[in-house]
A = this chain, B = another copy of it.
Amino acid sequence: MTENLRELFHLQEGLVFLNHGSFGACPKPVFKTYQDWQLTLENQPVAFLDQERGLLDNMKAARVAVAKELGANEQDIVGVENATAGLNAIARSQELKPGDEILTSNHEYNALENTWRFVADRTGAKIVVADIAIPLRSEDQFTSSILKKMTENTKVLFLSHITSPTSLVFPIENVVKEARNRGIITVIDGAHAPGLIHLKLNELNADFYSGNCHKWMMAPKGSAFLWAHKDVQHTLEPTVISHGWVPQNGNKKQLGAFGDSRFIDCFEVQGTRDPAAWFTVPAAIEFKQLHNWEKVKRRSSELAMATAVTISKLTKIPLFASHEFLAPQLVSIPLPDCDVDELKNRLLSEYDIEIPVFRWADICIVRLSIQGYNTQQEADALVNAISEILGLR
């Protein structure tokens, strides 16, 4: 690589960090912007945190930048702490009753499975799980698996855009469209999507979408967004009711307590918190442009895929999908049955490789992330280590 990107990150020397996918890693210049925002705040907390002074302008600047990057209108986006928090606001705002069905897949993230279980317990609604069989080979296979379970009782369709355990890019466009035709609310967990795949929120035209900025958008931890279609914004309640809140009056154009839309005021005018992570998202977007990140992503994707294919050949276990449905830069690679904790611990203690190894649907999986700071050498080290520990070839 022409630029030593590793030097642009704070990551521990000597560590083979192949787990960008869990928490991300924030580039040094972006992280400096983050901590500088915090110092600016401490310099004059009132000027910074008072709604009538700087706060809302800075909030809006981040909204505008995220909206531009993700093909959305800034009025449809608010900052939240992480995708789980955004999706909680959405899930807990759905008015459901006994008999109603929440349709989802068997590839969802534990925290969100918990959230929907909580909502189902409270409302009497039922969770219906569509089995998305692996390997995933076609859009039709995906669409028909979902439609088969869609009934006239389905009120909510909840799907990951990129699945956490299996790293699949679910081809959700058709089922989102079909749900809209049937009056079913679509809620998309985009935790891993922004910055990883081509994401255009207006085009997707779901009802609700929440995604993280701290993973593949290269922003600091604590930055994420909630997107809501203008037709359903008025049905949302934030998880924390605070200054910006006013009761719903059913009017889509309802204003909040601070003169912006109710949706924006409800979520943005909260109690005292450190908003620096959200304010830093524009700097993260700039960083990517400055460092030719499209090219970095392409190289990283190729390396991730080549490594996954190599391991798959060694194990003789096929990957979870044909290439078009495998996420770029993030590949969940199935392994022969093994002690996942032991493998994970040995990779770290004997090879200095940080990578998640876990079991999903009784399949052992290593989830490889390749980011700009990773090298061919590191990928080779992983292949070698897994081969040695599992006695492949």
- Which A residues contact B (CB, under 8 angstroms)? 9-12, 15, 17, 19, 22-26, 31, 34-35, 38-39, 41-47, 49-50, 81-85, 88, 110-111, 114-115, 117-118, 121, 212, 214, 220-222, 237, 239-243, 245-247, 270-274, 277, 354
Contacts and interface: CB of A to CB of B under 8 A. Distances in A.
B38 A15 contact: no
B44 A12 contact: yes
18 contacts: A10-B42, A11-B42, A11-B43, A15-B44, A19-B46, A22-B272, A23-B46, A34-B38, A45-B221, A82-B271, A88-B241, A114-B242, A115-B241, A118-B241, A221-B273, A221-B274, A222-B274, A274-B274
A114 B24 contact: no
B42 A272 contact: no
B245 A118 contact: yes
Given A10-B43, A110-B243, A118-B247, A214 B272 contact: yes
Contacts of A15: 44
Nearest to A48: B23
Contact of A242 (B42, B84, B246, B272): B84
A274 to B, nearest CB: 4
A88 B49 contact: no
Contacts of A245: 111, 114-115, 118
Contact of A271 (B26, B83, B118): B83
Contacts of A241: 88, 111, 114-115, 118
A270 B84 contact: yes
